[in-house]
Amino acid sequence: MSQAQQYQPVPPAFHQPRGWVWRALGRSYLELAGWRIEGAFPADPKYVLIVAPHTSNWDFLVGVAVAFAVELRASWLGKHSLFRAPFASFLRWLGGIPVNRSASHGMVGACVHAFESAPTLMLALAPEGTRKGVSQWKSGFYRIAVAAQVPILPVGFDYREHVVRLMPLFHPSGDLDQDLPLIQALFEQVHGLRERPTTR
């Protein structure tokens, strides 16, 4: 029998107690499905969290289970069409922020304003922007981090090893062409539920 997962406490700025039932549900799912968490959430008050590769709707369930298991408060962007009764309140409780993708030209500015307005904020994004196979990452997450002057936390969902891997913070230089290959290289050994074409 494998050793039980030891859940490290999250920084106080991102601690959101939801009650023992939700904590138990999150931990039960991770343990029954064989997932474990490696690494720790940094104590920095603001950063962009990127999850890759994003290949399945199961990624959302794994992410929610992690949030419940460690009592994590994180914000994430979702299609506005999802935020309708009876699910809207629940999705917002999970940290969801509805966005209209047809108005994506204002997305970066809105996210930067959110960082400037909040004393603490962990904004989770999928840089691929879709579950479909892609060879190019969208640059929005990077432009948000640079404009808001916050670091990037790379997080890999490795379905082959069943590991949620929290990597060290990446501090962007402001040069997308230089930094993007470095960030993508961190995910070269992270395997999504479905195989991706190369990002190189």
The DSSP-derived string for 54-95 is ---THHHHHHHHHHHHHTB--EEEEEGGG--TTTHHHHHHTT
Q: Which two tokens stand for residue 144?
A: 């948000």
Question: What pLDDT score was predicted for residue 198?
Answer: 46
Question: What pLDDT score was predicted for residue 140?
Answer: 92
> Would the CA dihedral through 96, 98, 102, 105 be positive or negative?
negative
Q: Are 124 and 54 in contact (CB under 8 A)?
A: no
Lowest pLDDT segment from 81-85, 148-152, 177-181: 81-85
pLDDT bracket for residue 131 (50, 70, 90):
very low
pLDDT bracket for residue 62 (50, 70, 90):
very high
Question: What pLDDT score was predicted for residue 134?
Answer: 47
pLDDT bracket for residue 38 (50, 70, 90):
very high
Q: To which residue do tokens 């995910």 refer?
A: 187
Mean pLDDT of 67-75: 96
**Does residue 63 carry a pLDDT above 90?**
yes
pLDDT bracket for residue 199 (50, 70, 90):
very low
pTM for this model (two decimals)? 0.87
Q: Which two tokens stand for residue 44?
A: 């920095």
Cα 66 to its chain centre, rounded Å, is 10
Q: Are 94 and 73 in contact (CB under 8 A)?
A: no
Higher-confidence position of 105 and 169: 169
What single letter denotes the amino acid at residue 100?
Answer: N
What single letter denotes the amino acid at residue 74?
Answer: A
Question: What pLDDT score was predicted for residue 163?
Answer: 97
Q: Are 135 and 198 in contact (CB under 8 A)?
A: yes
% of the chain at pLDDT higher than 90: 68
Question: What pLDDT score was predicted for residue 85?
Answer: 86
% of the chain at pLDDT higher than 70: 90
Question: What pLDDT score was predicted for residue 195?
Answer: 65
Question: What pLDDT score was predicted for residue 55?
Answer: 87
**Does residue 30 carry a pLDDT above 70?**
yes
